[in-house]
Structure 1
Amino acid sequence: MRRPPSSPATALLLLTLGYAGYYFCRASFSVAKPQLIEFLVAGGTMDKAAAKIALGGVASAATLAYACGKFASGALADFWSGRRNFLMGMIGAIVFSLMFAFSGTLPLFTLAWVLNRLIQALGWPGALKVTGSWYPASSYGTAVGVLSLSYLFGDFAARQFHGALINNGVGWQGLFIGGAIVLAVLLVLNALFLRENSTTTPTEAGESTAPDETPEPDAKAFLRSPSFWCVCIISLAFTLARETFNEWTPTYLVEFGKLSKGTAATQSSFFPLFGGFAVILAGKLSDGLGRSGRAFILLLSLPVIALLLSTLALLPAGSPLLIFAISATGFFLIGPYSFLAGALSLDFGGKKAGATASGIIDGIGYLGGVLAGESMARLSVALGWKGAFFTLGGVLLVSLIPAAYFWKEQKKRDV
């Protein structure tokens, strides 16, 4: 059966909704952590601190699987099909979320969540590949900025959804089942209507469709570029910070913010929400400022984020300013973060190898994200959340070095 015709706007809408759906099968673990800690403690084999570290270990193992999957999935999307990658990731996320819901021991939790994150690694490179097939290079920042809203507003919606379930008495199993149902609906929509543009070269209105005199970049070219590896190092620091908030904000708000589990789940959604607002602004600014503009926004954001993390470290327990500081951190962190495996990847790899560049940048980033699980859990147990946030701020300040070099090199290209 022939799939119905599509358009750039239709494809982007379906990808944005679909990738938002991924987060209903991803945020569930973060939101369920306070309940899962109680579940493990009730089993009588560990105390609260041990349960927290054990679940941090689950998160680290799953993030490592996600990172490894990123390296392969980017190349697979370029070689195979972005659409197929995207749909397979959705199917796997549904299956393994249900597997988690019907598990009841730490080893099974670990297996289900590792497989979930591994298969979800197919999603973003697939989405980026389809987006690159529909949009010209001059619109990468805006198009990928819109696509990036999927993992921000999707995360926001998922946390609101899961929080509402908790407030209505739903246990941790129901969070994973509910998320799988939402993603299944979006899977059907994408399977029916999403199409990859494989017949034409995307151009601006009125722009010639003749081949560009500038050679299309490929993987060999960007792998030799010091700027590319600087972006990979920056990705490592940004992803560590983002994954720390994604994994631990509900638990932090229960332990330190003194909120109920349901309220903590919904309040944790402000981090991706304000990040989404930043992505809209950053995408528009970066297209106008050029490649060096994206590099400058990355550089400028790092000391601001470090300052906000220091603020979080110094605020007293239960302070109403905690949510404000978390929201501000999301704003200044997520906007620049969206460039890394998005518009910058397309800058380096173009249509031909953009998904490969994205997979490498994201994969290396998530190697840093591995530390957001068990290592952050151990830090918060040993030094408190104050020590964890100061440590995170220090990592971001160190990444100013590759960010400054990257900005300098991109300025040369714009001359």
Structure 2
Amino acid sequence: MALLLVSICLAAVIFLYFNNNPLNHSKKFIFRRFVNWFPLGMSYAFLYMARYNLNVSKNAMGDMMTKEQFGIIFAAGTIVYGLSFLINGPLVDRIGGKKGIIIATLGSALMNLLMGGATYLYLMGRLKTNMVVAFSVLYALNMFFQSYGAVSIIKVKAYWFHVRERGVFGAIFGTLISFGVYFAFDWGQAIVDASKLNPEGPRTAFQNFIQHIFAIDTGATDATWLVFTIPAFILIVWALIDMVLLKDSPKEANFDELDTADASSGDDDDVKITLGLIFKKVFANPVMITIALVDFTSGVLRNGIMQWYLIFANETKETNPAFYAGSEFFIKNWGLLLCLTGVLGGFIAGLVSDRMFQSRRGPPAAINNFIMIFLLIAMCFFLTKNPTLFGLSAVLMTLAVIGVHSLMSGTAAADFGGKKMTATASGIVDGCVYLGSGLQSLSIGYLSAKNWHYWPLFLIPFAALGLFLALRMWKELPEATKKYILEVEKAEALKQH
């Protein structure tokens, strides 16, 4: 049933893509652009599966990986992810998004295979080094390669989508994130359940498939390492597909170059991307700094909910059985719920931006942050008291925060950075997301060990800060976009007369 809903959701996304053509591109161009973004997007979605499988493995290992240990490992990865954009953002701007996504998928696949090996050795009692050290190093390396994914997908998008279309692509970007979360949590949990030494109830067809294909019966322990190795094999397949189908720009696919009306519109095609130019257009741009700070708060909020809800809910099994019983729907369908609400949140934010605010990204970001403040207050009230309303508030949080993240990382950074430096610009913005994620990982891992009530309280100031910053960029648009909108309005006025 869950897979059917996700498939319907994917079909709806594809339908909306083909029916959104404000610039009247040819059918051939629209189809070729789909062939470009779909495999690229699915590669990015499975990168998410190979990122958040750590969360699933933590729940599978139970007390063998404590909250504090998990917080340290996850923080090590997210901090490396955030800082690595200083290297790979400018690099992807030079080498292109195609090479960038191939580096991301193959590099992450290798690291996941190594994490699977480390998990096997740990569970079999053969790991000679400290588990936290081993996983922190491998997960950090995984996240280094993962960081190529976001900048690569946005780099390619910047050449294929006009600014007036990017709100919808931001929605597609949010959808891909949501699919990745579904793959990570629900498919990942299905892999964990299928790889148990003594599964509960009768074996399913998927369990039999896993048992026979991977020959996992060690007779000693659950094969939890498969939650790392299976995503690695999937990434390798998508890397091969990207090698064949992906093109960095319309020109490489034998179309005319598209003037996207972003911050690089009108620039000389032969201009050299120097550190000085990057500093001027990105680091010295107050709008870019504001976008990065808004996404920093979204990183705290997104992973502050997505990463910790299952851990919290599973802990109540012993301490508050009635609350746990009321949370089972959310626990069993966490990935699916995050997927569906993330898709909805991304599309609402993108369509509102393009249709109601002339492709300004600040207004819908401000609205979503305003909503999140109230949802977090509700979580404070319902924590341990009403599992249904608490779970519903947590799920709706992801709807709002994916809307903010898809607009900031997936769209605004490319708008104001321009297609020539979009990887550097989006990399800095996305890096701030994961610096925020690292901060919340260390903080909530520490605070929740004392009292879970600190969890939503810790997040409220970041939603308020996100609201304040989004309001500051309410009216901002790149100059080329303003010029394009004025030209369109003049042309429409002439038609009416």
TM-score by length of 1: 0.87
Cα distance, 1:73–1:269 mapped onto 2, change above 3 Å:
farther
Match of 1:285 among 352, 375, 393: 352
What amino acid is the match of 1:80? Answer: I
| Deviation readout 1:259-306 (Å, 9 max, x if unpaired) | 699973642442243011111222122122346642111112112101
Match of 1:201 among 257, 260, 266: 257
What amino acid is the match of 1:323? Answer: G
Could you tell me how far apart the structure 2 residues matched to 1:283 and 1:275 are? 12
Q: How does 1:133-148 map to 2 (within 5 A)?
A: 133-148=159-174
| Deviation readout 1:27-52 (Å, 9 max, x if unpaired) | 21111212234324xxxxxxxxxx21
Tell me whether 1:100 sits opposite 2:100 in the alignment: no
Q: How does 1:122-137 map to 2 (within 5 A)?
A: 122-137=148-163
What amino acid is the match of 1:362? Answer: D
Q: Matched residues, percent identical?
A: 21
For the residue of structure 2 that corresponds to 1:407, the secondary structure is coil
Which position in structure 2 is the counterpart of 1:44? none
| Deviation readout 1:338-380 (Å, 9 max, x if unpaired) | 1111110111012111111101111122211111212111111
Structure 2 runs not aligned, ≥5 long = 1-28, 123-130, 197-221, 272-276, 317-322, 487-497
Which position in structure 2 is the counterpart of 1:258? 324
Which position in structure 2 is the counterpart of 1:59? 74
Tell me whether 1:162 sits opposite 2:188 in the alignment: yes
Structure number, greater radius of gyration: 2
Cα distance, 1:271–1:22 mapped onto 2, change above 3 Å:
same
Q: What value does the CA root-mean-square deviation take over the aligned residues?
A: 2.9
CA contact (8 A) 2:195 2:226 kept: no
Could you tell me how far apart the structure 2 residues matched to 1:23 and 1:358 are? 17
TM-fit CA distance, 1:69 = 1.4
Which position in structure 2 is the counterpart of 1:393? 460
Which position in structure 2 is the counterpart of 1:48? none
Matched positions, count: 395
For the residue of structure 2 that corresponds to 1:202, the secondary structure is coil
Tell me whether 1:9 sits opposite 2:34 in the alignment: yes
Cα distance, 1:21–1:268 mapped onto 2, change above 3 Å:
closer
Q: How does 1:186-265 map to 2 (within 5 A)?
A: 186-197=238-249, 199=251, 200-202=256-258, 219=278, 220-256=280-316, 258=324, 264=331
TM-fit CA distance, 1:194 = 1.6
CA contact (8 A) 1:55 1:374 kept: no
Cα distance, 1:140–1:411 mapped onto 2, change above 3 Å:
closer
Following superposition, which runs of at least 4 residues in structure 1 exceed 4 angstroms of deviation?
211-218, 259-263, 408-415
What amino acid is the match of 1:325? Answer: S
CA contact (8 A) 1:12 1:147 kept: no
Which position in structure 2 is the counterpart of 1:80? 95
| Deviation readout 1:84-116 (Å, 9 max, x if unpaired) | 111111011111111111112222111111110
Could you tell me how far apart the structure 2 residues matched to 1:117 and 1:262 are? 31
More displaced, 303-312 or 31-40?
31-40
CA contact (8 A) 1:292 1:407 kept: no
Which position in structure 1 is the counterpart of 2:495? none
Which position in structure 2 is the counterpart of 1:110? 136
Which position in structure 2 is the counterpart of 1:375? 443
Which position in structure 2 is the counterpart of 1:351? 419
Cα distance, 1:59–1:8 mapped onto 2, change above 3 Å:
same
CA contact (8 A) 1:243 1:369 kept: yes
Which position in structure 1 is the counterpart of 2:84? 69
| Deviation readout 1:10-38 (Å, 9 max, x if unpaired) | 11111111111112211211112122343
For the residue of structure 2 that corresponds to 1:277, the secondary structure is helix
Which position in structure 1 is the counterpart of 2:18? none
Could you tell me how far apart the structure 2 residues matched to 1:65 and 1:236 are? 15
Could you tell me how far apart the structure 1 residues matched to 2:312 and 2:358 are? 37
CA contact (8 A) 1:313 1:389 kept: yes
Could you tell me how far apart the structure 1 residues matched to 2:75 and 2:358 are? 33
CA contact (8 A) 2:305 2:397 kept: no
Which position in structure 1 is the counterpart of 2:382? 315
